[in-house]
Amino acid sequence: MNSAKLTKSFLGVALVLALLAVTALVVSGQPQTPDPVTISIAPPLKEVVVGDIFTVDIKVDAGTQPVSSIQAFVNFDPTKLEVQDDDETKPGVQITGGGVLDSELYNSVDNAAGEIDYAAGKLTDTAPSGTFTLATIRFKALETAAATPLEFSTTPPRETKAKYGTDDLPVELSDGTATIYLSMIGIGIEPSLKEVSIGDIFTVTVGIEAGSQQVNGVEAYMDFNPTYLNVVDAAGNPTDRIDPVPDPFETVILNSADNAAGEIDYAAGTFEPAPTGSFDIATIRFKALTTTTGVPVAFVLTEPRKTIASFDGERLAVSPTDGTVVVYSLPEIVTVSLPEGKVGDAYEATLEATGGKLPYSWSATGLPAGLSCSADGVISGIPTEAGDFTVTVTVTDAMDNSDSVELSLKVYPALEITTTELPEGKVGDAYEATLEATGGKLPYSWSATGLPAGLSCSADGVISGIPTEAGDFTVTVTVTDAMDNSDTKELSITIHPPAFKIYLPIIMKNYAP
């Protein structure tokens, strides 16, 4: 921009600032020592690819200090960047005001010189403070650059300033940087999700997805948590390197694994024709140390360990796909005993385990006839043989890890009353009969109904008493074992009436002597 035009523009700005001075008279309480105002490019680092259109903001952080106007002058490299016009209805190239300082005083872009001149103020209402956006700049990336600056100008006549009324405020300026890459390729941990069990030794690969972009060098920096994972060799011993994949990158420049810090640094390339498409550059062998619901294997994207690729000296941006490792514990059966059963009765017991990855699959051997174990861990059926059995149960998780235990299972014979008849009794005479049974689990508990008056049945199976009525009786006796199984039987009992005594009178006769 020529100096005459710039001088004329600043005269206009000066006139407006004079108006701001009048406004400042009605603004109460300006501090005697103004707080510094920070004017910055945000974000401070922008990473893009050639051809990308992207935005950065001119940000203001005034703290508690009111600000009535700001003039910001930004320089950029016009061979690397070009400002895109945000208002085609106006002559020249414009950037977009943030709206907080809503009176735009000056807005001009010179893409040939690489200069942005912008000023805005607050002519009415209260001057703003705090953090706000002064303006947004829309750039197009033209060619590669490791770090092309976005710098505030600090020398007159293009001096970046902040004012409150007519008073200059102290400013702190924070410039920005744009890194422009030739292209974007993908780099990832494959598979992106790896599920293993504690103690497992397993591998993941570092893969490239370049599409049609040629790549002849990659620097890959990865972090992992050494609490959960260690890099190991084929024998499972901790090691300080990973395994290169020599095709297509036959030249390894850097290969380091630090199990204490949880860092992997690897760089490789080729002097042969640069490959395209999908290919692997290295294999990482880990050992799972302890359980976790998910531990990342993540690419580092910040200096000095910045993951990057290149082609013929031009930097390529990477779009990373990190990996996640889930480490399961081994399954463990927690069932310690099986309930007892009885021949002929329905039986069911559910097995339980912890750890491992669901779902479980169960099996059992050594079960008595009539019982089986389902895949979901339920032993059920109707046992047909009695005895003491040693059952081996096995659980297998979704990772194909298993645990086995031996459990004892006792199956009792069927409970059965063996008494077939009751002895006869007689009214008035003491009576006692002992009931008997086999099978089931001791102790037994007995009961009886239908007994003649005077008789009762004790819990241990003794019918006793002195009957007071005669007749033929049907007695129902029931035995219940310790497993609450029972058997019932009807028995007959006859009680005779008491015996009759016949008394004959004695006739006394007088005989003569």
Do 172 and 248 reside in the same domain of the chain?
Answer: no
Going by C-alpha positions, the residue among 78, 94, 99 that lies closest to residue 137 is: 94
Going by C-alpha positions, the residue among 435, 440, 416, 445 that lies closest to residue 491 is: 435
The one-letter code for the residue type at 270 is T
Token pair 């990308």 in the structure block, residue? 52
Do 456 and 442 reside in the same domain of the chain?
Answer: yes
Query: What are the 10-residue block averages of pLDDT along the chain, 513 residues in total?
Result: 41 43 42 82 95 97 95 98 85 90 93 97 89 97 94 96 93 96 96 96 97 96 98 97 95 97 97 93 98 97 94 92 97 97 95 97 98 98 96 97 97 94 95 94 95 96 96 96 92 90 57 52
- Does any domain span residue 509? no
Query: Of 277, 303, 328, which residue constitutes the final position of a domain?
Result: 328
pLDDT value of residue 502: 58
**Would you say 352 and 361 are in contact if contact means Cβ atoms under 8 Å apart?**
no
- Does any domain span residue 503? no
**Which domain covers residue 19, as residue numbers?**
3-25+34-180
DSSP state of 410: E
Going by C-alpha positions, the residue among 462, 443, 440 that lies closest to residue 451 is: 462
pLDDT value of residue 86: 76
- Does any domain span residue 284? yes
Query: Of 296, 328, 360, which residue constitutes the final position of a domain?
Result: 328
pLDDT value of residue 23: 43
Do 218 and 76 reside in the same domain of the chain?
Answer: no
Exposed, middle or buried by CB within 10 Å (0-12, 13-18, 19+), for 89? Answer: exposed
pLDDT value of residue 371: 98
The one-letter code for the residue type at 163 is K
Q: List the structure tokens of 507.
A: 């006739």
User: Domain containing 376 — which CATH number?
Assistant: 2.60.40.10
Alpha carbon distance 373, 353 (integer Å): 15
How far, in Å, are 123, 247, 470, 501 from residue 120 at the CA level?
A: 10, 58, 123, 140
Full-model pTM: 0.71
- Does any domain span residue 380? yes
Alpha carbon distance 508, 124 (integer Å): 157
Alpha carbon distance 274, 218 (integer Å): 11
Do 162 and 18 reside in the same domain of the chain?
Answer: yes
pLDDT value of residue 510: 55
Do 370 and 390 reside in the same domain of the chain?
Answer: yes
Write the DSSP string, 134-196.
EEEEEEEE-S-EEEEEEEE-EETTEE-EEEETTEEEPEEEE-EEEEEES-EEEEEEESSEEEE
**Would you say 251 and 271 are in contact if contact means Cβ atoms under 8 Å apart?**
yes
- Does any domain span residue 502? no
Radius of gyration of the chain (CA): 48
Do 230 and 144 reside in the same domain of the chain?
Answer: no
User: Domain containing 162 — which CATH number?
Assistant: 2.60.40.680
- Does any domain span residue 508? no
Alpha carbon distance 286, 205 (integer Å): 11
For the CA atoms of 445, 449, 453, 454, the dihedral, rounded to the nearest 10 degrees, stands at 0
- Does any domain span residue 59? yes
Q: List the structure tokens of 454.
A: 């005077």
Do 315 and 393 reside in the same domain of the chain?
Answer: no
Do 45 and 13 reside in the same domain of the chain?
Answer: yes
